[in-house]
Amino acid sequence: MSTEATQPRTEKPRRSYEWLVDAGYRIRVHTAPRPTGTVTRLADSLETMSAFAGAANVVMQLSDRAVGHGVVESRVHSGAVTEHPIKRARTTFTYLAVAVLGSDTDREVYRTAVNRQHRQVRSTEASPVRYNAFDRNLQLWVAMCLYVGFEDTHLILRGAMSARQRAVFYSESAPLATTLQVTPDMWPATVEDFDDLWVARVDELTLLDERLREYLGGIIDLSFVPVPRPVARYHRFVTVGMLAPRFRDIMGLSWSDRDDDRFAALMRAHHLLARAVPGPLRGLGYRALLADMRLRVRHGRALV
């Protein structure tokens, strides 16, 4: 009998969610576990209140230098967040609504519209990194950030999940990626596979160059929109708080234990406020964006 046949198979040990938090790959969420019988799907996380984490998610996405320079150097000025923040917010949140709530037809229509813009987003000889908006690996990274954003905000607003609840929550997440060019086989099959790939991709990130830090700093500080100083300070605090330590490190952002305590208290307030919102109103913003997209299609208006 061969040695191979007699050797017991050993499976790769799985990282727990707590390990991801302790190692700095995910933020720490200070909410109590939800009832064990509660079944939560990804669509349940499309709450209008989750928009408070939008800027942090943009920072996460652009922390990949290829994605970051693709945005900073983009010649599609009509979609630049620093020039047209309201339009960019509408198109981004519409994408999320279409990916999670939309039909196959909705996704195909929106894919075509986004592809039209993405054709213009590619590196030049002067770019410090090579990129192309049709690169499936870059799209995969962006979709992974979107999923993490949904999960983080859902944990804050609705409570911590068990491993089983988290598996169910993840099970319908693939359209976040496959609504564009990412193929179904590229999206991790299980949430444990996702965690493994997330660690690997985050470990590939490097310190950002000055141009990206300045651009993302403007997003964090809302320097491109005229808002009162208290609003800008609040936005910065929430945005930096929603970034896992690994992302703060590559951005060179400071965050103290006192900041963490204040952020935890603020997120508990978000949690209590979210519980007071009636169920039918929670996802109203996303449903309205999906309805707006369908209306734009019907009347031949631009989607992005």
| In the chain, domain spans | 36-298
pTM, full prediction: 0.93
- Helices 54-62 and 229-241 pack at an angle, to 10 degrees, of 60
Q: What is the CA radius of gyration of the chain?
A: 20
152-167 pLDDT, tens digit per residue, is: 999 999 999 999 999 9
pLDDT tens track of the chain, all 304 residues?
A: 444 444 555 555 678 999 999 999 999 998 989 988 888 899 999 999 999 999 999 999 999 999 999 999 988 766 677 777 888 899 999 999 999 999 999 999 999 999 999 998 999 999 999 999 999 999 999 999 999 999 999 999 999 999 999 999 999 999 999 999 999 999 999 999 999 999 999 999 998 999 999 999 999 999 988 899 999 999 999 999 999 999 999 999 999 999 999 999 999 999 999 999 998 899 999 999 999 999 999 999 999 8
pLDDT of residue 284: 95
Give the pLDDT confidence score for residue 52 in this predicted structure.
94
What phi, psi does 73 have (nearest 5°)? -95, 0
Give pLDDT, residue 299.
Answer: 96
Please tell me the predicted confidence (pLDDT) of residue 78. 65
Q: How far apart are CA 249 and CA 163, in angstroms?
A: 28
Distances (CA, A) of 301 to 108, 119, 292, 293, 296: 16, 20, 10, 9, 5
Which residues are registered as beta bridge partners of 33?
160
CA–CA separation, 248 and 258 (whole Å): 16
Sign of the Cα pseudo-torsion (244, 76, 223, 129, in order):
positive
Contact 118, 75 (CB under 8 A): no
Res 85: pLDDT: 84
Supply the mean pLDDT for the chain: 92
